[in-house]
Amino acid sequence: MKQKFAFVFFFVLFVVAVAFSRQKPKLIVLVSIDQMIPEYFERYDKQLSGGLKRFSAEGIVFTNTTLNYASSETGPGHATISTGSYPATSGILANEWYDPKTLKRVNCAEDSTAKPVDGEGGGFSPKNLVVTALGDWLKAESPVSKVVSVSAKDRAAILMGGKRPNHAFWYDRKSGRMVTSSYYAKAIPEWARKFNEANWVEKNLPGSWWKLKPAGDYEMDGPDELKGEMIWGMSSSFPHQFAIERRNDQILTSPWGDMLVLDFARAAIDAEKLGQRALTDILFIGLSCTDYVGHSFGPNSHEIHDHLLRLDQALGTFISDVEKIAGSGNVLFVLSSDHGVMPLPEHVTNVAKGYARRLLVDSVTVPKVTGLERQLQKELNTSEWLISRNGFLNYEVARKGKFSHRRFEEKVREGLLSIDGIADVFFKRELTGKKTRPRQYLGHFQRSYYAPRGEDFQLLFCENCLPTTRPTGTSHGSAYKYDNHIPLIFMGWGLKPARVTRETHSVDIAPTLARILDVPYPKTVDGSPLSEVRR
Ligand SMILES: [Zn+2]
């Protein structure tokens, strides 16, 4: 009898355990911090105590997650997170590309048929995304579930939201308001209208941005004033004054832009009852200001340091609010990023005493490509264009001058590789063909290349070289580790803290979440569910 009782007892325990492990989160909050690098968590660890700290201390931290493709930009980054597909599959191969037919520049999220709503926003939709995303997969199985995507940047909100979210909102830097387009809504929902009417910027943005902590806390960063940093007002050092006539724009290069988006996300949770019903909702939040601050001052600046300390606090408050609303075991938080960043070249050379440099594209590289084109024109006895600045080649004129496709490419490759700063050239044939001679970064460029929208050739610049037109600021966009390595952390929903060091990729995020939600996803998805993310 005793034995039977024990058996029943353990059987019930087992059933409860299985039911618990199968219980889906009521809310997934996926936070993408634009241009976030994993190194920040370690570098500032002792000074963090809010949301960033909670992610690194309580989450399953994947320490070796990369994009695994070359175009480390915001559009491809966010499309990859939500679709589980490389740019070669999602069609979002870059922030902008040149249409091979019209040779016109296309923005990854533009849509001229998407009109303003209530007189605001418009112009953008996921029209250019050729696959579906996590939110679409969920809504196909559970149409009542809600998917909401918000960000300061249109392309981040739109590409994470997928094809048919309930709402996608982004920040309008002229008006200081959160806007959408007619693709998503006929009218602005009441809660968003109220949020805008409360005029967040006027109410919350201080007159200037001061350091949060005592000066000693920033000593590890080297000097605040550094050549190569953006000049704000008269210098590149703290404090930074906001000008009343420019503050709607300046807020983005400060922690307050992210605070605005988090407050807007909070309003969406309340009004749309996200995570408060017996099903799963998804909230995508794109926090863009790390990118603006990083571009302007670099990833080792006092500005990025202070920005992250303030973001840590704002995110901490946001996370505990969401846990109170939806119940702490019911929310699965995910933190990742769309790409990394190259250190400011001047910081590398003057402070870290390493090697890095600016490659002045307009004044140095382009004239050399023009020289190469002139030389080829002479050889082919033509005055017609041969190499466009947008990455197209005039194969037809080359053929008339008796250069075969291959011969022409060999000439172009040889010429381009002789130009300072150009490390490799990948032609369309190499990016789409299966028999291309393997070489470093070929796979990265292939996974970035969506043939119907791709140029005739793509360039790999040298490592630690910043292709730029300006003497200040830094950027991203390469296949190198500094641009490719991103954080990936899953936290909450009863997950136990862990560190996973094996190589993983951002394409794995969407299938991992789809598996947790038990929703099927298309066979075209490039990533795989991460088995470590289980209760
Ligand atoms: Zn970005």
Q: Domain with 379 in it: what CATH number? A: 3.30.1360.150
Is the same domain home to 304 and 333?
yes
Work out the angle between the directed axes of helices 154-161 and 74-83 (0-180°, nearest 10): 20
Ligand 1 geometric centre to CA of 189 (Å): 28
Considering only CA atoms, give the Rg of the chain.
25
Per-position b or e across 358-368, b if 16+ CB within 10 A of its CB: bbbbeeebeeb
Residue 102, pLDDT score: 85
At a CB cut-off of 8 Å and minimum separation 6, what does 367 contact? none
Please give the Cα distance from 123 to 112 (Å, whole number): 5
CA–CA separation, 79 and 81 (whole Å): 6
Beta strand segments in 94-159, E: 96-98, 105-107, 147-151
In this structure, the answer to whether residues 262 and 402 fall within a common structural domain is no
* Alpha carbons 175 and 158: distance in angstroms, whole number: 19
C-alpha of residue 247 to centroid of ligand 1, in Å: 21
- Cα(288) to centroid of ligand 1, in Å? 7
Model pLDDT, residue 4: 57
Q: Is residue 470 part of a domain?
A: no
Ligand 1 centre and the CA of 448: distance in Å? 16
**Domain co-membership, 381 together with 505:** no
Distances (CA, A) of 267 to 122, 235, 270, 416: 22, 37, 5, 52
- What is the C-alpha separation between 196 and 202, in angstroms, rounded? 11
Listed in sequence order, the residues at least 6 apart from 432 whose beta carbon sits closer than 8 Å to its beta carbon are 446, 449, 451
Taking the centre of ligand 1 as the mean of its atom positions, its distance from the CA of residue 383, in whole angstroms, is 40
168 shares a domain with 154: yes
Domain hosting 448: range is 357-463
The tens place of each residue's pLDDT in the chain, 535 residues long, gives 455 555 555 544 444 444 444 599 999 999 999 999 999 999 999 999 999 999 999 999 999 999 999 999 999 999 999 999 999 999 999 999 998 888 899 999 999 999 999 999 999 999 999 999 999 999 999 999 999 999 999 999 999 999 999 999 999 999 999 999 999 999 999 999 999 999 999 999 999 999 999 999 999 999 999 999 999 988 999 999 999 999 999 999 999 999 999 999 999 999 999 999 999 999 999 999 999 999 999 999 999 999 999 999 999 999 999 999 999 999 999 999 999 999 999 999 999 999 999 999 999 999 999 999 999 999 999 999 999 989 999 999 999 999 999 999 999 999 999 999 999 999 999 999 989 999 999 999 999 999 999 999 999 999 999 999 999 999 999 999 999 999 999 999 999 999 999 999 999 999 999 999 999 999 999 999 999 999 8
Tokens coding 501: 């060091």
Omega of the bond leading into 497 within 30 degrees of 0 (cis): no
Q: Are residues 217 and 114 in the same domain?
A: yes
Rounded alpha-carbon distances, angstroms, from residue 527 to 80, 160, 188, 355, 488: 9, 16, 35, 35, 14
* Residue 284 one-letter amino acid: F
Task: State the total domains in the chain.
Answer: 2
Active site residue ranges:
74
In a domain, 270, yes or no: yes
Would you say residue 525 lies in a domain?
Answer: no
Distances (CA, A) of 344 to 37, 74, 239, 357, 480: 14, 19, 20, 9, 15
Length of the chain: 535
Give distance in angstroms: CA of 441 to centre of ligand 1: 21
Buried/exposed code over 492-517 (b: 16+ C-beta within 10 A; e: otherwise): bbebeeeebeeebbbbbbbbbbbbbb
Q: Is 120 inside any structural domain?
A: yes
DSSP letter string, 300-329:
TSHHHHHHHHHHHHHHHHHHHHHHHHH-GG
Q: 388 and 258, same structural domain? A: no
Give CA–CA dist 460/423, Å, rounded: 5
Q: Are residues 493 and 435 in the same domain?
A: no
Predicted pLDDT of residue 148: 98
Final residue belonging to a domain, choices 463, 496, 527? 463
* DSSP label at residue 504: E
* CB 466 within 8 Å of CB 357: yes
Q: Is 13 exposed, middle or buried (0-12, 13-18, 19+ CB in 10 A)?
A: exposed
Residue 10 domain flag: no
Give a yes or no: residue 533 inside a domain. no
Q: Are residues 400 and 312 in the same domain?
A: no
Residues 491 and 507 in one domain: yes
Answer yes or no: is 287 within a domain. Answer: yes
Q: Compute the distance from residue 479 Cα to the ligand 1 centre, in Å.
A: 14
User: Are residues 92 and 71 part of one domain?
Assistant: yes
DSSP assignment of 187-218: S--HHHHHHHHT-HHHHH--SEE--SS-GGGG
Q: What's the 34 CA to ligand 1 centre distance in angstroms? A: 5
Say if CB 373 and CB 386 are below 8 A apart. Answer: yes
| 215 backbone dihedrals φ, ψ, rounded to 5° | -50, -35
Pair 383, 331 in one domain: no
**Which of 480, 226, 468 shows the shortest CA–CA distance to 352?**
226
273 and 398 in a common domain? no
Q: Cα separation of 421 and 258, whole Å?
A: 36
Residue position matching structure tokens 């006539």? 245
| CA pair distance 181, 187, nearest whole angstrom | 9
Write the DSSP assignment of 124-139 as a string of letters: B-STT--S--HHHHHH
- Which run of H or of E encompasses 396? helix 395-400
Indicate which CATH number applies to the domain containing 134.
Answer: 3.40.720.10
Q: How many CB atoms lie within 10 A of CB 102?
A: 8
- Rounded to two decimals, what is the model's pTM? 0.95
528 CA to middle of ligand 1, Å? Answer: 23
Task: Please give the Cα distance from 104 to 125 (Å, whole number).
Answer: 18
* Structural domain includes residue 15: no
What's the CA gap between 39 and 56, in Å, rounded?
A: 12
Residue 322 phi/psi, 5-degree rounding, is: -65, -40
Around ion ligand 1, residues with a beta carbon closer than 5 Å are: 34, 74, 291, 338
> What distance in angstroms lies between residue 344's CA and the mean position of ligand 1's atoms?
16
